[in-house]
């Protein structure tokens, strides 16, 4: 019976591409946005939300750092591990 339903409804189609949830903003804007959200959560006493926002901010900080590094194509993470750099 399930096979007949599939035939009647036709082949499954993929959903159209959607805009990224950040609206296509660049890494610096996202970094600043998540820092501000983290501060707000901290003031509200929500430690879980604060940590979540700061983790996103850290991610965008690393994206900015990798983009600004000389010869950044494909390096990023391996350089940080090799030198022991931490945020």
Q: Is the pLDDT of residue 67 over 50?
A: yes
Cα separation, 39 vs 51, in Å, equals 10
Count, residues in the chain: 87
pLDDT of residue 68: 86
Q: Flag whether the pTM goes above 0.75.
A: no
Question: What tokens does 3 get?
Answer: 């096979």
Q: pLDDT, tens digit, for every residue of 1-26?
A: 555 555 556 566 666 655 566 555 69
- Quick check: 50 and 38 in contact, CB under 8 A? yes
The full set of domain ranges for the chain reads 24-68
- Quick check: 79 and 85 in contact, CB under 8 A? yes
Range list of H helices, the chain: 2-9, 27-44, 47-68, 77-83
pLDDT of residue 76: 47
């Amino acid at each position: 019976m399930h096979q007949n339903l599939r035939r009647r409804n036709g082949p499954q189609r993929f959903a159209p591409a959607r805009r990224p949830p950040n609206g296509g903003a660049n890494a610096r804007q996202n970094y600043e946005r998540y820092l501000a959200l983290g501060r707000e959560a901290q003031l509200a006493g929500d430690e879980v939300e604060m940590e979540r926002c700061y983790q996103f901010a850290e991610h965008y900080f690393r994206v900015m750092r990798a983009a600004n590094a000389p010869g950044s194509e494909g390096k990023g993470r391996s350089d940080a591990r090799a030198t022991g750099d931490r945020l």
